[in-house]
Amino acid sequence: MHPVLARFLAADAARETLHKQQSGGALSAEEQAFTDAASANPKHKAVLLGVGGRTLSTDAQASLVLLAAHAAVRALDQDATLAEPTKKAREALAEEGASPEETDAFLASILLEEAFGYEQDVDAFDSEYVKEALGEVPALAALTKEAVDALFLTFVKAAANDAERKVREGMARALFDIAWSEGPAPINPEHMEAVLDAEVVDRPEEEQEAKVQATAQLLQALSKEGLIGPIRLSRLRALLGEDDA
């Protein structure tokens, strides 16, 4: 988990920083990132300031997570390792018409995935994974509906026979519908879980094996297109019970 995200997931630290800003106190770089994120999201700032105590409502928790994640996104610009890939990711999203707010939300989702998406140590920050995920953004941002259709057809046509073709078609359509229904985004564990629940769970064993294999092959194909990096590929394949790629 990014240290800025971790720091401001604590409600007390978040509120204290906002009160410190209001009183005109000097802010550290991390605190400035958080207050900037709060100023850019006034509704969430108001929700957080309007509650007291350590037990937060669902809405307040959601606001806290959003502001902490957006603060961490701002901190990326000052990170010696991640500043350049963050810049390139921002530029790629802007070129495809994303607003600054949409861009921040996209990058925040990457940090939240790193923090909570896998069974990793939340006390450590996997900078290499985030760097890879940021590197996936230009290819994802440029992915049009026509390009997705072409990926689909190429993957399906590569099947060895009609039976495999049918399985590939079903799994590719399911994954694309779930992961990219609102536009291309990094394929994450939630997407994989939804696909498995919809297409694999409670099916006969032979059918399950064929669908899992097709899904693993699809992930490999997307990796070759630069849409999935090697670390993500390895982790997603592991979720399927496959060996690391």
pLDDT tens digits, 222-237: 999 999 999 999 999 9
Please state, in angstroms and rounded to a whole number, the distance separating the CA atoms of residues 184 and 9.
28
159 in a domain, yes or no? yes
Same domain for 161 and 186, yes or no, is: yes
State the pLDDT at residue 216: 96
Give the pLDDT confidence score for residue 52 in this predicted structure. Answer: 65
Residues comprising the chain, all counted? 245
150 plus 130 within the same structural domain: no
Domain annotation covers residue 245: no
- Domain count within the chain: 2
- Final residue of a structural domain among 85, 109, 142: 142
pLDDT of residue 49: 87
Please check whether residues 26 and 114 belong to one and the same domain. Answer: yes
pLDDT of 242 reads 76
CA contacts within 13 A on the Cβ side of 65: 15
pLDDT of residue 54: 63
Choosing from 100, 115, 142, the residue where a domain stops is 142
Residues 119 and 211 in one domain: no
| pTM of the model as a whole | 0.90
Q: Are residues 117 and 176 in the same domain?
A: no
Q: Are 185 and 117 found together in one domain? A: no
Residue 210 belongs to domain spanning? 145-240
126 and 226, same structural domain?
no
Counting as low any pLDDT under 70, the low residues of the chain are 52-55, 243-245
Q: Are residues 39 and 13 in the same domain?
A: yes
Dihedrals phi, psi of 83, to nearest 5 degrees: -60, -45
Q: What is the pLDDT of residue 190?
A: 94
Q: Which of 88, 120, 142 is the last residue of a domain?
A: 142
Q: What is the pLDDT of residue 53?
A: 60
* pLDDT, position 243: 62
31 and 93 co-located in one domain:
yes
Kindly state whether residues 120 and 72 are assigned to the same domain. yes
Domain shared by 125 and 182, yes or no: no
Backbone angle region of 183, left / alpha / beta, with phi > 0 → left and psi within -120 to 50 → alpha = left
Same domain, 26 and 135: yes
